[in-house]
Amino acid sequence: MGTRQREADAAADHFLLKIARENQLQSLTEKELRLDETPVTSYPQPIRAKAWIRFGAIPMHVDCWIHRTTSDAAGVAFTIRDKTFRCWVWGNAVTLPDEAGTAAAPAAGRRA
């Protein structure tokens, strides 16, 4: 990776951290998740993915790891610099890379 790319990545991380400091990370509520009536699948080896998340009203498309899913949602974690964030998002907000590296099907309900 060249110097310019590292500088661009550092600037992007700084911008994302600023947004994260100024806005609350949004996550699905217990009522939306229905965890008392919907089974949860946990993954011993998290699955690499991309997800649309929100800090306040600001949407971001981030590289993330899926740690758990229900039939409708995914519990994801992502890191900005050294800070890890975790939230639940709707399954159709998450995509798995296919072998060609492009976005594949939504991740909710995926079974290992």
Confidence of residue 108 (pLDDT cuts 50, 70, 90): low
pLDDT in tens, 25-40: 999 999 999 999 999 9
From the centroid of its chain, how far is CA 104?
15
Q: Distance between CA 63 and CA 78 in Å, rounded?
A: 7
Q: What is the pLDDT at residue 7?
A: 73
Greater confidence (91 vs 2) lies with 91
pLDDT in tens, 46-69: 999 999 999 999 999 999 999 999
In this structure, the dihedral spanned by the alpha carbons of residues 32, 88, 66 and 96, taken in order and rounded to 10 degrees, is 70
Residue range 5-21: average pLDDT? 82
Q: Distance between CA 78 and CA 74 in Å, rounded?
A: 13
From the centroid of its chain, how far is CA 21?
17
pTM here? 0.80
State percent of the chain over pLDDT 90.
68
| Structure tokens belonging to residue 90 | 């709707």
